[in-house]
Amino acid sequence: MHLARCLVVAAAYLALLAGPASSGSPKLLPLSEDQSTLVLRILRWVTGLLLVREINCVLNQWAENRWVFRSDESAWDWKNEVAVVTGGSAGIGAIVVKKLLSHGIRVAVLDVQPLADAFQQDERNRISLYRCNIASPEEVHMAAEAVRSDHGSPSILINNAGIGNAGTILEMTPTRLQTLFGVNLLSHWYTIQEFLPDMIAKRKGHVMSTSSMSAWVAFAGAAEYAATKTGLTALHESLTQELKHRYKCPQIKTSIVYPTWTRTRLITSIEKGIQHAKQPIMDPEEVAEAMVKQIIAAKSGQILLGPSIATAIRAFPIWLQETIRDGMGQVVTGNATTAVPPPPRAGAGGSEDTS
């Protein structure tokens, strides 16, 4: 798509460069010669800038896909693929699971909660739920062993689980900090360490992380949440580089998703603040659709579901950065957490019959 659009803009630019510029040329608009020359000059500049933008998009896509233009969708047989989805029992994760099932992909859910009522019985029959506190490396290992025993080695890992805290830095307790960092960031290390080796051995796989636009813009009341999401960006970049240069396995895809505010339980306590700041709120369906579309397309990359300019904010002048953050200063207020108590340890890693 980007390449085709780039070629169209390039053709338009070349046509404008070769277009009429002399007084003897036929007039396409009822303008004087000077006016026609000015319009043509403006069109050339605008089209030239559009061409630069499209070339940049093509280069970005090429780089994200490991400097390969063609995707290897043919290497994937969706009905024989197994996906692990953390936090897949409810929220965005549940919609992701539903969409994966619609493509025939078998799904193993790692979560502390039972499957939501939104799942139909036929869907429940095709989901394996492993009650697991993903902040515990021991429980992740037990769950991974159970998944491999039940389904073989997964080829897709979607680290979707996330929790949030509302509170200032001084209000945050060590327990809440450890829980949030464990779920939002450290768990990605645990699941990748469990499932990536088999992907490398087979030279096929896809690792996806759900981040947030707060990875680019941090503000009052959500320091620890933004810190974990910024950490995911570093993890994604390092994982991509290690797959290419350490394991010589560029075939494995890596994606990171940056949703903006999304209507889930994470924003329940701060939704009024978001609306007061006139910030848009996405529907979870939109986020899940973008995530699964990326999986099915067998492409690597960053999926920005908020203002694309956010990624450049740290390059802005300091006064402008602070103005943007000041506008978000009263969004997150109060003192709360969305953490769900983990299940009893005795049940960790076990498969739950969802039929």
The single residue of 99, 204, 229, 299 carrying the catalytic annotation is: 229
d(CA 322, CA 319): 5
C-alpha 169 chain-centroid distance: 26
Identify whether the C-beta of residue 207 lies closer than 8 Å to the C-beta of residue 305: no
The single residue of 13, 130, 190, 225 carrying the catalytic annotation is: 225
Query: 244 catalytic, yes or no?
Result: no
Structure tokens at 330: 């009263």
DSSP letter at 89 equals: S
What order do you get walking across the sheet with 106-111 strand by strand? 301-305, 253-259, 206-210, 156-159, 82-86, 106-111, 127-131, 351-352
Identify whether the C-beta of residue 6 lies closer than 8 Å to the C-beta of residue 55: yes
Query: 225 catalytic, yes or no?
Result: yes
Residue 180's H or E segment, with its range, is helix 174-181
Give the up-direction half-sphere exposure of residue 116: CA atoms within 13 A in the CB hemisphere.
13
Give the up-direction half-sphere exposure of residue 235: CA atoms within 13 A in the CB hemisphere.
26
Residues with a known catalytic role: 225, 229
